[in-house]
Amino acid sequence: MKYSVVTFGCRVNQADSLTFEQHLIESGAEAAPSDVADLVVVNTCSVTATADQTARQTIRRIARSNPSARIVVTGCYGTRRPDEVRSLPNVAAVVSNDDKPWLIPLVSGLTTSQRFGGGDGSCGATIAPGVAGRTAFTLCVQTGCAEPCSYCIIPTTRGCPRSRPVDVVLAEVDRISAAGFKEIAITGVHLGSYGRDLAPASSLASLFRALENRSTSLVFRISSLEPMDCTPEIVDIIASSETFAPHFHLPLQHASDRMLMAMRRPYRIAQYSSLVERIRRRMPDASIGSDVIVGFPGETDEDVDELAGFLDSSPLTHIHVFPYSDRPGTKASELPDKIHGAIVRERARRIRDIGEGLARRFRASQVGKTHRGFTIEDGSLVVTGNYLKLRIASGLARNERVNVRVIGTAESLTGEVV
């Protein structure tokens, strides 16, 4: 059987899709482009209306180009709107997020008792760097979210928080390391809640300590972490250990306290500012990315000015800008004072321009510095610990550890292996 996996959205979806691919390969399936595959798994996102639309368009395109394909849809859009997805052409099945562990057995002819990951999310499939084009491995240690953010639909599509026990995570890390991976991205839907649901309870900091003690050869990169969960202890762990990449992604969403309250975010801008300044003091070359939302209901020009002013003077290195998207079923969708689309687009353009300036400033600050990294693609591209992507001279293989000096300008960085 030929298969294709098409993935949208967050790192958790990427981790899920990587597991799908491992088990399909283990069952004897062969990867192929979606236009010639017998089975196409579409792992969807639903964080915005645009994400839903993109998934629909992709499914229709696959059906047109490959009418004989069985299309299986999973992920947050499939979970949120299963009947809508089933009505799309060639969709043979819709599998909810909760049922993802049974997806491959159901669609590949295995018995349904052959749930991937058993009850703990572990995987026994043979893997190697390069599966699904990934040189680093994305490991999901937690899923689900109980935060009440007023704009977000994800708690209804991912369910309550569930963590994988520490010993299960460590066993997975051992397996991934033995397969040859040198970097693991640690991810979760609400990563900072890791361990609170376990018995006995644990914490993300405790998991990081266990990872640090387990391995000296791996580098762990931490994916998106909510600001209130990035404690001084976690900052200190990452700052004092070469086991962790100096790379943070801390969603801000807004710099106006009035907007943060309306979004039901459990911090204020002074707390966020103190956090990112602490990181910059401890790790002068760390990358610190963020997400922001513009056009939230009731947002004023003054609110946008507060956001722009904070970002422009912040130590952030890159931002993702999301125009507000109404998600039926959320509290924000019931709010009055919706912002006209043209105004939202103009505000998004303004904030993106600031984000581009932050990225240029960070790149310029790195010229002449040397960082640890590892090669990806054909070996001529290096990803550094602080998430710079530097083109180097050919001659190395994929998945090699290197020290690389940053050369060039803010507009065109390259690297030199030293």
- Length reported for the chain: 418
Tell which residue, 118, 65, 62, 112, has the closest CA to residue 92.
62
Q: Which CATH number fits domain 1-125: 3.30.70.260, 1.10.760.10, 3.40.50.2300, 3.30.565.10?
A: 3.40.50.2300
Beta-strand relationship, 370-376 and 401-409 = antiparallel
Phi–psi pair at 339, nearest 5 degrees:
-95, 135
Residues 351 and 307: beta-carbon distance below 8 Å: yes
SS3 at position 240: helix
Neighbours of 383 (CB within 10 A): 22
CA dist 278 and 273 (Å) reads 9
pLDDT of residue 308: 98
For the chain, how far is it from start to end, CA to CA, in angstroms?
45
Mean pLDDT for back-to-back runs of 10 residues, the chain (418 residues) = 94 91 86 94 95 97 96 96 96 93 72 42 61 84 96 94 96 91 96 96 97 87 97 97 96 98 98 98 98 98 98 97 94 96 97 98 97 94 96 93 94 94
E strand or H helix that includes residue 55: helix 49-65
CATH code, 367-417: 2.40.50
CB 200 within 8 A of CB 236: no
| Torsion sign over Cα 97, 288, 414, 179 | negative
Q: Which element (helix H / strand E) includes 81?
A: none
Q: Cβ-count burial of 403 within 10 angstroms (0-12 exposed, 13-18 middle, 19+ buried)?
A: middle
Alpha helices by DSSP H, listed for 188-333, are: 204-214, 232-240, 257-262, 269-282, 301-313
Give this prediction's pTM: 0.91
Q: What is the pLDDT of residue 182?
A: 93
Q: Which residues contact 132 (CB under 8 A, 6 or more apart)?
A: 5, 17, 18, 21
Supply the pLDDT for residue 126.
56
> Is domain 250-365 classified as CATH 3.30.70.260?
no
Please name the fold of domain 136-245: Transcription Regulator spoIIAA (3.30.750)
> Is the preceding peptide bond at 200 cis, omega within 30 degrees of 0?
yes
Domain boundaries, the chain: 1-125, 136-245, 250-365, 367-417
Q: How far is CA 18 from CA 54, 96, 127, 312, in A?
A: 21, 17, 10, 37
Rounded CA gap, 169 and 54, in Å?
Answer: 33
Confidence at residue 103, expressed as pLDDT on a 0 to 100 scale = 87
Please tell me the distance from the alpha carbon of residue 231 to that of residue 192, in angstroms, as a whole number.
Answer: 9
CB 350 within 8 A of CB 374: no
The C-alpha atoms of residue 303 and residue 19 are separated, in whole angstroms, by: 42
- The residue whose two tokens read 């931490």 is 222
Identical fold for domains 136-245 and 250-365, yes or no, is yes
Report pLDDT for 117: 43
Stretch (H or E) spanning 29? none
Closest CA to 100 of 160, 43, 30, 162: 43
Gap between the Cα atoms of 275 and 400, Å rounded: 33
Nearest 5°: phi and psi at 125? -70, 150
* AA letter at 194: Y
